[in-house]
Chains A and B, each alone.
Chain A
Amino acid sequence: MKFLRAAMAASLLAAWAGQTASAATGNVLFNGTITATCTITINSNGTMTVSSNLQSLSSHNAGGSAGSAQVDTTGGVSLSVDPVTTTTVPASDTTATTWTPTFATSGAQTIAETGTATALTAPGTSTVAVNLAGTKGGTNRFSAGNYQATVTLRCE
């Protein structure tokens, strides 16, 4: 009898020990939302020079230079330039000037030179070259003195 009890106990122990331990698992979810962001850092302003026929005052002309800016974005924004409304011209310049601002980007996203709003879809840092050209038609000419214009570079 004693032997039988010991044998049964041993067999029950063996059966229990053979079972695998069961573990409960659960998932922990993480959510994150990134809203559109945009930072414009102006690196340098531009310089315009006059053409030999005195009808173009532009950053594209020889000796001129584009303004430079850096745009850091998550994407999902657009970049544009406004028509130029703020200018200072010499008193001797009394004729009309047509101002045309343009921009181009390189880096995270490449945009060929344009004057229209363009979507920035790629996240990262892009370098923006901002150009400005003033032109006169007919017999009108740029005159000696200081010219100044403000180009608005917009990220929205």
Chain B
Amino acid sequence: MRTIAILAAGLTAALSPVAATSQSMTPMRGEVRSFTDAFAVRVFPGNPYNQRIRVEVHVYDQDFQPVAARITPSAFLLAGQASRPVLVVVPFDGANERKVRICTESIPFPSEQTQIRAQICGKFFGHRRF
């Protein structure tokens, strides 16, 4: 399992752009080839506000059903105008390819009558190679 994690982490290099501020999440598209039972994506959630917000990262399938992926970290506080890397390792679950959505979610102004949850989702396609 540790080997898988190391290999998967290595594969994220191709999908790791320079993190930019004021981006809610980059990248928003990606295609990964993996030689293991999982593929990995590194995304950069960003906080465009001047205040600290709580950010959660979730992984969904094409029908927006949750996917049991390893997300490190899955929830965190993000300072204003900052971004940070999040590593997502998605299992193939026996399939040869898998399409997932990786979503960054936050409710910047909670505790009001009609609150808006901002959700930025990227679409990622993992291919398994033997």
Contact = CB atoms under 8 A, between A and B. Distances in A.
A45 B123 CA distance: 28
B115 A45 contact: yes
Chain B contact residues, majority secondary structure: strand
A82 B101 CA distance: 15
Given A35-B27, A35-B28, A39-B46, A69 B121 contact: no
Nearest to B121: A156
Q: How large is the interface on A (under 10, 10 to 19, 20 to 34, 35 or more residues)?
A: 20 to 34
A48 B113 contact: yes
Interface stretch (B69-77, B89-97, B104-112): B104-112
Contacts of B121: 154-156
A151 B46 contact: no
B28 A38 contact: yes
A130 B103 CA distance: 20
B114 A67 contact: yes
A35 B20 CA distance: 13
Contacts of B46: 39
A123 interface: no
Interface of A: 35-42, 44-48, 59, 67, 69, 77, 82, 130, 132, 146-156
25 contacts: A37-B23, A38-B120, A39-B48, A40-B118, A40-B119, A41-B48, A41-B118, A42-B116, A46-B114, A47-B113, A47-B114, A48-B114, A82-B119, A148-B114, A149-B114, A149-B115, A150-B107, A150-B115, A151-B116, A152-B105, A153-B117, A154-B103, A155-B24, A155-B119, A156-B122
Interface of B: 17, 22-29, 46, 48-49, 101, 103, 105, 107-109, 112-123
